[in-house]
């Protein structure tokens, strides 16, 4: 299959609501960020990682205080190398560059780099309420999650529950195929509700500094 994605320039990619929503609520959604052909390929790649036992239980805390606690989060991950050979992920990286251009141009976020991993939540798992950036001088600016769940239905679970910064009621967002969720890493509380059907995604963080250590396969 030829994998193609019509790349969208920053202005085409996003309506003005995105910058407003990020600023006032602390999160925003972009539906159909990636085509179904590409999301299928990435999901297929995650299934191959699973089959080869290449996904590892995710931990919590900083590197030197790394713990694995099923009560807090139940997902399995693998970091994505910058020079990944997975074609669909390369298309995703290209599309992300446009998004970063937009965010730097219209939201003045000073994003310089990003890191991301493939993510798999088995049935019965969840991720407790948290914010992604706990350190005061952390480098994570925007958290972004691409969902890869074809035909997601109410009842499949795994919604991301976000707590808006403007104090309005929490919102449960479906992890629909091709959807990209964006959040302010150091401000927006969120959690993943219990998963009733295996849940696939790519989770990433845009950074305000260059990194040559975190965005490597491990």
Ligand X SMILES: O=C(O)CCC(=O)C(=O)O
Q: Which residues bind ligand X (CB under 6 A)?
A: 127, 132, 145, 160, 190, 192, 201, 203
Q: Which of 75, 115, 132, 159 binds Fe ion (CB under 5 A)?
A: 132
30 vs 85, beta carbon nearer ligand X: 30
- Tokens standing for residue 179: 């959807």
29 contact, one of ligand X, Fe ion, none, CB 5-8 Å limit per kind: none
39 vs 203, beta carbon nearer ligand X: 203
- Tokens standing for residue 106: 């219209």
| Min CB(42)–Fe ion separation in Å | 19
Provide the β-strand partners of residue 114: 206
Element (H, E) at 49: helix 36-51
| Min CB(73)–Fe ion separation in Å | 9
115 contact, one of Fe ion, ligand X, none, CB 5-8 Å limit per kind: none
CA 64 to chain centre: 23
| Residue 109: closest CA among 117, 100, 120 | 100
Contact status, residue 76 vs residue 57, Cβ threshold 8 Å: yes
Phi first, then psi: what are they for 140, rounded to 5°? -80, 125
3 vs 173, beta carbon nearer ligand X: 173
Residue matched to tokens 């972004």 = 144
- Tokens standing for residue 71: 């009560």
| Min CB(190)–Fe ion separation in Å | 6
115 vs 132, beta carbon nearer Fe ion: 132
| Min CB(102)–ligand X separation in Å | 21
38 vs 121, beta carbon nearer Fe ion: 121
């Amino acid at each position: 299959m030829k994998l193609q994605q019509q790349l969208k320039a920053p202005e085409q990619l996003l309506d003005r609501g995105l910058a407003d929503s990020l600023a006032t609520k602390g999160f925003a959604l972009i539906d159909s960020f990636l085509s179904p052909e590409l999301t299928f390929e990435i999901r297929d790649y995650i299934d191959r990682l699973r089959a080869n036992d290449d996904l590892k239980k995710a931990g919590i805390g900083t590197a030197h205080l790394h713990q694995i606690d099923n009560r807090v989060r139940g997902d399995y991950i693998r970091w994505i190398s910058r020079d990944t050979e997975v074609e669909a992920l390369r298309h995703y990286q290209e599309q992300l560059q446009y998004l970063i251009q937009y965010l730097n141009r219209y939201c003045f976020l000073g994003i310089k780099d990003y890191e991301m991993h493939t993510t798999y939540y088995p049935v019965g798992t969840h991720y407790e309420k948290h914010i992604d950036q706990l350190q005061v001088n952390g480098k994570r600016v925007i958290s972004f999650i691409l969902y890869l769940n074809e035909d997601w239905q109410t009842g499949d679970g795994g919604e991301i529950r976000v707590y808006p910064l403007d104090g309005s009621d929490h919102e449960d967002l479906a992890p629909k195929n091709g959807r990209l969720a964006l959040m302010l890493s150091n401000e927006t509380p969120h959690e993943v509700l219990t998963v009733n059907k295996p849940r696939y995604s790519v989770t990433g963080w845009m950074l305000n500094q260059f990194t040559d250590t975190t965005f490597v396969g491990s």
